[in-house]
Amino acid sequence: MSNWTTRVACVLLAVAPAAYADKTAATKSATNTKQNEPVALNPSELKWTAGPPDLPKGVQMAVLHGDPTKAGNFTVRLKMPDGYKIPAHWHSQEEQLTILGGKLDLHMGDTMDAPGHTLETGGYHFLPANTHHVAQAKGETIVQIYGTGPFDIRYTNPADNPNPKNARR
């Protein structure tokens, strides 16, 4: 190898790991809200926080991609304790949900007596916009929600909304 080739190879070997590390760090950020950037996360890298104020207390949320409060695609995970219930509600956008752990009782309508289905780990549901439904966790349950923001939750009974500032039908 010539001296010039050796110097170029040394520079590339010195710079490449740093450039790769910067790119890798960017893909690990659970707070990355940019729509068109790659995201690669392992469960241990998720940043769990208290759920949004429009959901009953006790749920935790991790944002994987996008920003559910803004227009555009998003992916979030919710971790619910055993027995956690989301009263009858609906969303103005479609909702897609996958059960990653535990079980979720999902009932179409405004009560737990409405026709329902218990979704197990690996289960999936798609709900068109404005579909009334009730959900309750059986055991600690983790779900992944894919949607188009802004995400909203509108309770059929405004008194069920834990965030009175945002109580709307």
Above 70 in pLDDT, residue 106? yes
**pLDDT of 23 strictly over 80:** no
Contact 145, 76 (CB under 8 A): yes
Neighbour-count burial for 74-86, b at 16+ CB within 10 Å, e otherwise: bbbbbbbeeebeb
Q: Quote the CATH superfamily of domain 43-166.
A: Jelly Rolls (2.60.120.10)
| Residue that wins the pLDDT comparison between 53 and 8 | 53
* pLDDT (0 to 100) of residue 8: 37
pLDDT of residue 38 exceeding 50: yes
Looking at residue 12, its pLDDT comes to 37
Tokens of 43: 């469960």
d(CA 93, CA 81): 26
Condensed to tens digits (0 to 9), the pLDDT of residues 118-133 reads 999 999 999 999 999 9
Over residues 52-69, mean pLDDT:
96
Rounded to an integer, what distance in angstroms lies between the CA atom of residue 150 and that of residue 89?
16
Structure tokens given for 125: 């549901």
